[in-house]
Structure 1
Amino acid sequence: MTVFKASAILLLCSALCVHVECQQYINQNAELTEIPEDIPLDVTQIILASNSITNIGPNSFSKFTELTHLNLGFNKIRTINDAAFEALVNLKGLYLYGTELEEIPVLSISTLERLDLAWNKIRTINDGTFEALVNLKRLDLYGNQLEEIPVLSISTLERLDLRDNKISTINDGAFEALVNLKELYLYSNQLEEIPVLSIISFSSVNFIYVHCE
């Protein structure tokens, strides 16, 4: 069943969820500047991509405790409150690609499996940024302005995409904790060499894509 309301779409779909019925709310290309107030509380997927939202406040999504996927890509987001996603105890996918973010927001979502921060303006990864993401499997940071890779302590990570940055330095031990990594993308950076010790422990890796200057 599909319900059309203004430019928003509320879609009931059984194919996207295993053994449960999920609700998907879609409101794209609508020039939204704020989170709509008509989103059902029991929604499991929200797609608000390609709008003009600039700020995510502490209560923007606090009512949607059943949410599993949130797509805010291609907005004009500059700030995200530290508590913006705290209530999303079932969230598995968070998509923040193509925004105006200059730093990685504080995230304490233990259920998160995919985090997409591609095509932002992020320059650094602070120590401990991903510590709370104990189930993260895929991290997309391509197309940013990163210059170095610090130590990443994400033992569950399976795919890491860092291409199209300005990376010239990989810190010692940067990848040592990534014991489950299967795919690593490093091409289109400013690397002249890769320390052997940075990748020697990758017994689980199937693909490493890299190009050195």
Structure 2
Amino acid sequence: ELNLHGNQLEEIPVLSISTLERLDLGWNKIRTINDGMFEALVNLKELYLYSNQLEEIPVLSISTLERLNLGWNKIRTINDGTFEALVNLKGLYLHGNQWEEIPVLSISTLERLYLAWNKIRTINDGTFEALVNLKELNLHGNQLEEIPVTIHDGAFEALVNLKELYLYGNPFKCDCA
């Protein structure tokens, strides 16, 4: 484990510790991550990049990665292929960013997805189609207002393994009368 959080780092130091399993770079001032930055970390299972200044996510080619925390950055979009190599990813934390809609993710191994404290207004049918192993989905503190208007009827249909769904803290309007 290497913990570098809270060091005011503006860029990620080159690391080539092949046995490293957990890297915490949270609470720094990192703005960009170069493609291939983590390639030498062949045993990395957990990567924490929360509370930085990231606006985009680079293509990550860490096939051993199981947990990725990108919470509390300035991320709005995900480029194609960003998570393609993350074949063992189980937990993805994208809370506290700038998402206005849920990004399309095709990570079938994903079990936990945190999208709380964003600006999400709508959940469309098929949004979670590829997330067949998802057990926990956290969407609290967004801008969801009405069911089924902003959360479509088939939005959660593919989530056959879902055990926990968090929707509290949204400005839901009840028109139940």
Kindly provide the CA deviation profile for residues 49-76 of structure 1, in whole angstroms up to 9, marking residues without a partner as x: 101111126xx01x21111110000000
Distance 2:76 2:56 in 1: 7
Pairing 1:53-202 to 2, within 5 Å after superposition: 53-56=9-12, 60-61=14-15, 63-192=16-145, 193-202=150-159
Give the 3-state SS of the residue equivalent to 1:149 in structure 2. coil
When Rg is computed on C-alpha atoms for both structures, the one with the higher figure is 1
Q: Is the 8 A contact 1:140 1:161 kept in 2?
A: yes
Give the 3-state SS of the residue equivalent to 2:154 in structure 1. helix
- CA RMSD in angstroms comes to 1.4
Distance 2:2 2:62 in 1: 17
Deviation at 1:86, TM superposition (A): 1.0
Distance 1:167 1:90 in 2: 34
Q: Is the 8 A contact 1:151 1:173 kept in 2?
A: no
| Identity within the alignment, % | 64
Q: Is the 8 A contact 2:32 2:56 kept in 1?
A: no
Task: Give the gaps of 5 or more residues in structure 1.
Answer: 1-44
Q: Is the 8 A contact 1:82 1:105 kept in 2?
A: yes
AA aligned to 2:140 is: Y
Give the 3-state SS of the residue equivalent to 2:155 in structure 1. helix
Aligned pairs, number: 166
Deviation at 1:171, TM superposition (A): 4.4
Return the TM-score normalized by structure 2. Answer: 0.88
Return the TM-score normalized by structure 1. Answer: 0.74
